[in-house]
Amino acid sequence: MKASRSEFLAVRGLRYHIRHWGEPDAPPLFMLHGWMDVSASFQFMVDHLQRDWHVIAPDWRGFGLSQNPGVDTYWFPDYLGDLDAILQTYAPDRAVNLLGHSMGANIACIYAGVRPERVGKLINFEGFGMAPTRPEQAPRRYAAWLDELRQAPSLRTYASQAEVAARLQKNNPRLNDERAAFLAAHWSAQNADGAWQILGDPAHKGVSPVLYRVEEVMACWQAITAPVLWVEAADTDMWRWIGGREKGRVEVDRRLQFFPQLSKEMIADAGHMLHHDQPQALAQLVERFLA
């Protein structure tokens, strides 16, 4: 297993945790984790990279070892602001290789359209986006948000790190014991009561009062100038977020047409956490695309 090192960085008033693999003078490759995940999640794929890379992976605000901002609502544009500051620290004013999974891929793709000159090559692991919305949904969405603000959200705790690992394996049966134990050690920490809690702010679970405006997102995708590698898992369960498999497939294929330069790959025997299920195959795809 390749060793990683931690660094803490001031990012827009927060203490951000940045995980590094490789030597600082190697070509940089930025990796962005998904919702309720952490930067260490990329360990298995990093282990299979054959070239020398300086992999730089932040824990997003309120996840992992990064500071919890103490808010009751997370606003998606804040991730773009954080990413912009991180890239400016490690690769000022030059194009970078940017890889994201799930929520991290959605952030990366919007950013690549907003700052096209900052992204040389872009890799999207299952960053489908959310279901389309209609303006008439706004009143109920705002009401749901207001209702949630009346009661602080919470996450369940676990009696041991082994229980955390078991929870991860329940979510992803492909995860073997060794990988589950590794992830549990980075995904959770013991609290003052001796219980193990997930390193994710419960406020991340809250509904956003702002509707997902898919056409605005697609306008950002259309402005991307970098070549894009789109990677999907054959057994993904993400269709539930975008209208079910049949409608979701049609909608995703529509969205993919907005990428000006797109290569598509499908990973067999993998679910949404494809970087856990098939890390070697992904590492090979990534390096072939970046070569």
Encoding tokens for residue 53? 């890379």
Average pLDDT, the chain: 96
| Closest-CA residue to 282 (of 42, 119, 121) | 42
pLDDT digits 0-9 by tens, 234-258:
999 998 888 888 889 999 999 999 9
| Element holding 19 (H helix, E strand) | strand 14-21
Residue type, 76: F
Give the separation between CA 267 and CA 123, rounded to whole angstroms: 14
Residues 4-136+209-290, CATH architecture:
3-Layer(aba) Sandwich (3.40)
Residue 243: per-residue pLDDT: 82
Q: Could you give the CA distance from residue 244 to residue 237 in angstroms, rounded to a whole number?
A: 9
Q: Extract the tokens encoding 134.
A: 């209609």
For the chain, domain boundaries: 4-136+209-290
Among left, alpha and beta (phi > 0; psi -120 to 50; other), residue 244 is: left
Q: What is the pLDDT of residues 144-158, one digit of tens each?
A: 999 999 998 999 999
What local confidence, expressed as pLDDT, does residue 21 receive? 98
